[in-house]
A and B are shown apart, each in its own frame.
Chain A
């Protein structure tokens, strides 16, 4: 087991390292470089000046060297300066991270709390009206474009009803209710989409478990039908569900990007978006790497859950 942990952890690190190079290269391919921007803001700059500045900023050395220099600085704690915000990157990153976690945590919690009973209900009565309605709702959840859902919610609750703000985050020091007003719509948006996939996972996981023999045995022993479903089935079905949730947390991170942008919620997603669109290379690079690291971590956790469940997967290598 320990060996497995080590291998998987190592694999994640390798992927992260490779991705850091890939992302570094991709960011370099983004339009404009700092010198071009300078030129456009100072027409008197000559070609010679531009060339000199390029050398000064190290923009004329090959990609590998630039990457290596960046890596060395990064590993020693210097992650660069954000052009858009005029602050060190990390100073911008951490508040954004905190905001994202607040939003994601809320949405995740709500989604799980709603999806588990829904999925279980559907699994308890397969092919019933309940099952079909839950299935329908789930399909709707995974089919709806999140940005459009956000727009519709804003249209209804902000524009038409005027109950909730159309975006932004509560100013520092606001009370609980004030914070709630700002977080409600973005959280609901994320929740609706997540419920769609979670409830289907829960349903199929429960169906799988309910089919197993020991449930039949328990029924034969006379425990009431309902009790069986909720006690035995739920406990065992939760294990693969927990796994998938661990996996999804990583995806939630990137999926929230659009939602944050629409609601102007100052989280990691919006940060990435603003950085990329604003050609803030340093910020974009670090933020993207961070997102990658978080997603990889989510995957690693999910793999650990799988391994914990079924030790055969651990050492057998690649099974079917």
Chain B
């Protein structure tokens, strides 16, 4: 593990796993299958940092994000927020924790209730958690809206009167309503036009400074990640395969998967860093993960040990803070 003993850790997990039971259509009818969405995640998130989580769709980043924002309960492992255990809690016990961690959702079209006004949307968390008067709540809602870059008068409007980017600002304002320290942003700009993306990213940057926020930034877009992240974790088939500071990852990627991703980016400009058809072969399915290293079927360097043993996430040749899960690390150029 990275030595963060002298740092203020806000969120910590050890060997976190999440499996789902699902029914899959086969010729024999429906069969019960287990999906290993997330496996053996051990992570420490430092207060004030922005940790990015990248990977292809299906890699488990959204699931991990939802676990960390208290929507899913982990199947195994430990998970603490501010040092307090979060696993195995009932719904009532989780409620107070929601003041510490909030989520920014991906789809601006569906994350706001079309029947509520902006004021209603923003004051809802306040009413649930606090006993302030309606006037005080409205005042605070207006403050949040302005912090998110929208005029106070927009409080009385309905979501459909706003553009996608503006709705995302409202979502961000809502996430701030309870003064959380930790925010999980699940692909917050993926559904927005390119021109609007940088606006929202800059907003998130400003708010980070203003409110001393810690972000878990989930994205499949490496260019966006480069813009905002302090550290980057790369996920594949439910596991973290590499984690490092932003510069170390982009300049000194070790894991073959990370390198494949980066090599598909001609230049680091927005929208060109998308993880698309980078690699050959079929995208992995979390229902039947291969034995050994999850990446071995698509890895050009796969050796026998790769097919037999799952590599642990350990320090690389670049130091404690740059970790890789690969048997062949150090041997690859």
Contact = CB atoms under 8 A, between A and B. Distances in A.
Check whether chain A touches chain B (CB < 8 angstroms). yes
Nearest to B23: A316
Contacts of A315: 29-30
Contacts of A314: 29
B333 interface: no
B23 to A, nearest CB: 7
Contacts of A312: 25
Contacts, number: 7
Interface in A287-320: 311-312, 314-316
Nearest to B30: A315
Which applies to chain A's interface (DSSP): helix, strand, loop or mixed?
helix
Interface in B205-242: none
B22 to A, nearest CB: 11
Nearest to A316: B30
Interface residues of B, number: 4
B210 to A, nearest CB: 43
Interface string A253-267: 000000000000000
Contacts of B23: 316
B20 to A, nearest CB: 16
A315 B30 CA distance: 7
A145 to B, nearest CB: 38
Contacts of B25: 312
Interface in B16-41: 23, 25, 29-30
Nearest to A3: B29
B149 to A, nearest CB: 38
Interface in A75-108: none
Contacts of B30: 315-316
B107 to A, nearest CB: 20
A314 B30 CA distance: 10
B72 to A, nearest CB: 22
Contacts of A316: 23, 30
A312 B25 CA distance: 8
B25 to A, nearest CB: 7
B102 to A, nearest CB: 30
A222 B23 CA distance: 42
B27 to A, nearest CB: 11
A316 B31 CA distance: 10
A319 to B, nearest CB: 11
A315 B26 CA distance: 12
Contacts of B29: 311, 314-315
A108 B25 CA distance: 38
A310 to B, nearest CB: 12
A316 B29 CA distance: 9
B33 to A, nearest CB: 14
Contacts of A311: 29
Nearest to A311: B29
Nearest to B28: A315
B259 to A, nearest CB: 41
A5 B29 CA distance: 15
A101 B30 CA distance: 40
Nearest to A4: B29
Nearest to B25: A312
A283 to B, nearest CB: 46
Nearest to B29: A315
A313 to B, nearest CB: 11
B24 to A, nearest CB: 11
A139 B23 CA distance: 42
A311 B28 CA distance: 11
A311 B29 CA distance: 8
Interface in B232-270: none
A94 B25 CA distance: 47
B99 to A, nearest CB: 35
Nearest to A314: B29
A87 B34 CA distance: 63
A312 B29 CA distance: 8
B63 to A, nearest CB: 23
B29 to A, nearest CB: 5
Interface in A150-190: none
A315 B31 CA distance: 10
A309 to B, nearest CB: 15
Interface string B112-126: 000000000000000
A312 B30 CA distance: 8
A316 B30 CA distance: 7
A316 B23 CA distance: 8
A311 B23 CA distance: 14
Interface string B42-63: 0000000000000000000000
A314 to B, nearest CB: 8
A314 B28 CA distance: 12
A314 B23 CA distance: 13
Nearest to A312: B25
A247 to B, nearest CB: 25
A136 B29 CA distance: 44
A315 B29 CA distance: 7
A311 B25 CA distance: 10
A174 B30 CA distance: 57
A66 B262 CA distance: 81
7 contacts: A311-B29, A312-B25, A314-B29, A315-B29, A315-B30, A316-B23, A316-B30
Interface of B: 23, 25, 29-30
Which 7 A-B pairs rank lowest in CB-CB distance, beginning with the nearest? A315-B30, A315-B29, A316-B30, A316-B23, A312-B25, A311-B29, A314-B29
Interface of A: 311-312, 314-316
